Amino acid sequence: MSAQARAGLRPETEGKIFRPRRTLWGDVWHRLRRNRPAMVGLVIIGLMYFTAIFAPLIAPYEYDKIDLENVRAGPSREHLLGTDELGRDVFSRIVWAARSAAFVSITVTSFGLALGTFFGALAGYLGGWVDTLIMRLGDVLFAFPGLLFVFFIAATIKPGLIAWVKAIGLRELARSGYVDYLVVIIALGLVGWPGLARLIRGQLLSLKRRDYILAAQATGVPTWRIMWRHLLPNAMPPVIVAVSGGIGGVILSEATLSFLGIGLQPPNPSWGAMLFQYYGYWRTELWPLLFIPAAVLVAIVLAFNFLGDGLNEALNPQLD
């Protein structure tokens, strides 16, 4: 008797009944697709990034195009959402601001994710005093009220950053509004990483005691490969959830900074800055303008939260 027959299997017939081929990520997508709020969120998010990429084609005017003939105009064929006190097209500014939001959200999230993954993986895998050092540093950052700390960083690094940019010979850049983007990205990124580091560390602490990690060690898989092939891919699901919810938070934080005047400076387009600008109109006949950037912000932040919830359910099916 062959080993297979003795073991009670007939390999020739086994496996003839296949269920539809699906990878793990395929399963996730399948579950996510049935979650309506998450799909609506995904569409809104897609629309926002699409708008951001094709802003020059979508927006009828430049974001800083001043048309003094048409100041404070109501909605018309030329100006879909009317104009502000400088005659700038509100619709165009909303569209261009999507570009600011998209740029800031992607760079801040990547920055935070890189720092968080690096420190979290180091702390979780090495443990000991490295872990203690990194986590206590994170705790110190956590101890400050989040936004206040962002204001503090944004306000303190800006003069230094401008001086530095000038010093390395980029005078043009120093004078342009792009330095504001750098300030916002650095401030939000520095404050954002401890949460992710903590998450990834916690994941690694629980994962590194799993049998399949032990199995990899027993097999003689090198440490870096265990990290990349075994630990990080399995630590990803909660990170994906946290990041998708977090992007909405980053966009909101950028808007907050710009609203308070320490983020993106005029004439850079930002929904937060627009809120601040239109805030002054609320007693005038232009008051409806206030609701336009507000509605866009609410829709986008909600979209990211719905997507985050949907991903959470799709990646952890036992939650249902």
The residue count for binding other proteins (CB under 8 A) is: 31
Q: Which is nearer to other proteins, 23 or 159 (CB)?
A: 23
Nearest approach, Cβ of residue 25 and other proteins (Å): 9
For residues 192-211, which are near other proteins according to CB under 8 A?
A: 210-211
Q: Which of 187, 186, 190, 198 is nearest to 239 (CA)?
A: 198
Output the 3-class SS for the chain: CCHHHHCCCCCCCCCCCCCCCCCHHHHHHHHHHCCHHHHHHHHHHHHHHHHHHCHHHHCCCCCCCCCCCCCCCCCCCCCCCCECCCCCEHHHHHHHHHHHHHHHHHHHHHHHHHHHHHHHHHHHHHCHHHHHHHHHHHHHHHHCCHHHHHHHHHHHHHHHHHHHHHHCCCHHHHHCCHHHHHHHHHHHHHHHHHHHHHHHHHHHHHHCCCHHHHHHHHHCCCHHHHHHHHHHHHHHHHHHHHHHHHHHHHHHHHHHHHHCCCCCCCCCCCHHHHHHHHHCCCCCCCHHHHHHHHHHHHHHHHHHHHHHHHHHHHHCHHHC
- Cβ-based nearer residue to other proteins, 7 or 319: 7
Binding status of residue 31 toward other proteins by CB under 8 A: no
Nearer to other proteins among residue 27 and residue 85 (C-beta):
27
**Interface with other proteins includes 212 (CB under 8 A)?**
yes
Q: Interacting stretch for other proteins, rule CB under 8 A, among 6-14, 272-280, 289-297, 299-307?
A: 6-14
What number of other Cβ atoms are within 10 A of residue 216's Cβ?
Answer: 18
Q: Is 6 in the site for other proteins (CB under 8 A)?
A: yes
Torsion angle of alpha carbons 11, 17, 19, 22, nearest 10°? 30
Chosen residue from 46, 60, 233, 261 binding other proteins by CB under 8 A: 233
The answer to whether 272 touches 301, Cβ cutoff 8 Å, is no
Determine which residue in the list 17, 168, 218, 319 makes contact with other proteins, applying CB under 8 A.
218
Q: Which stretch binds other proteins (CB under 8 A): 4-12, 116-124, 195-203, 263-271?
A: 4-12
- For other proteins, the binding residue among 66, 174, 221, 240 (CB under 8 A) is 221
- Contact characters 123-152, other proteins, x per CB under 8 A: ---------x--------------------
- Residues contacting 317, CB < 8 A, separation 6+: 31
Interface residue with other proteins among 36, 225, 280, 291 (CB under 8 A) is 225
Of 211 and 285, nearer to other proteins (C-beta) is 211
- Quote the least distance from Cβ 137 to other proteins, whole Å: 14
Q: Shortest approach of other proteins to residue 21 CB, angstroms?
A: 8
What is the sign of the dihedral through the CA atoms of 119, 262, 48 and 305?
positive
CB of 39 to other proteins, least distance (A): 25
Nearer of residues 28 and 186 to other proteins, judged by Cβ: 28
Binding region for other proteins (CB under 8 A) out of 84-92, 108-116, 225-233, 296-304: 225-233
217 is an interface residue for other proteins by CB under 8 A? yes
Q: Which residues make beta-bridge pairs with 83?
A: 89
How near is the Cβ of 17 to other proteins at its closest, in Å? 11
Q: What is the binding site for other proteins (CB under 8 A)? A: 3-4, 6-9, 11, 14-15, 19, 21, 23-24, 132, 210-212, 214-222, 225, 229-230, 233-234
